[in-house]
Amino acid sequence: MSEKLSTLIRERRSVRKYDPSVKIEKEEILQMLEVATKAPSTSNLQPWEFLVFVDPEERKDLRTIAYNQEQIETASAVVAVLGDKEFYKNVEPVYESMVEAGFIDAATKEVLIGNANKTYPYASEEAMKNMATFDAGLAAMQFMLIAKDRGYGTGTMGGFDKVKFSERFHLADRYFPIVLIAIGKENAQSYQTTRLPIKDKVKFI
């Protein structure tokens, strides 16, 4: 592992105090998400969407929904990571773009679509949500490390009312909220955390 990657991972921590005067351009957030979503996903069906909160008015309501966590309003932005429980509906654009890029041929595309259509539409909602949650989590983690690399702090929040969130921000039925990620400039050091010994968590068999 490179020194740089190791330092980024070791020094990331959840930031809860932000400098409220710092703005991050939408374009920069988009670029970070573009790289973050190079994450792997189930059949490459990319079961994630992101609702990026920059507007102060919208964030007042979001703060209430997130049990008054102050970083909702003081961070430069809050990225809501959404899962897509009907991600098999992405088959056509996903596999067609791989054909257009010259990575697969048209026959392979049809095989991939056939495989996806044989499986995912028959999976339970719970299974679909689990797959989407895991995949979106991979992208979310990459986003946090990319943000750290660019000098920003981030903080994941699972503490919010997911039903109220879906209602207030009019999520279509196929999408569900997973976490909120605050992003901005840290203005007071958060406490550090430890991890249990890795040897207690790993078994080689």
Site of interaction with ligand FMN (CB under 6 A): 13-14, 16, 69, 155-159, 179, 193
CB of 189 to ligand FMN, least distance (A): 11
> What are the backbone angles phi and psi of residue 80, rounded to the nearest 5°?
-85, 120
CB of 40 to ligand FMN, least distance (A): 19
SS3 205: coil
Is the CB of 124 or the CB of 194 nearer to ligand FMN? 194
C-alpha 163/C-alpha 168 separation (Å) is 9
What residues contact residue 9 under an 8 Å CB cut-off, 6+ apart? 145
CB of 155 to ligand FMN, least distance (A): 6
Is the CB of 69 or the CB of 76 nearer to ligand FMN? 69
Strand order in the sheet with 153-157: 48-53, 77-84, 175-184, 153-157
C-alpha 148/C-alpha 154 separation (Å) is 7
Is the CB of 44 or the CB of 137 nearer to ligand FMN? 137
C-alpha angle 175-16-131 in degrees, rounded to nearest 5: 25
Is the CB of 128 or the CB of 136 nearer to ligand FMN? 136
CB of 95 to ligand FMN, least distance (A): 31
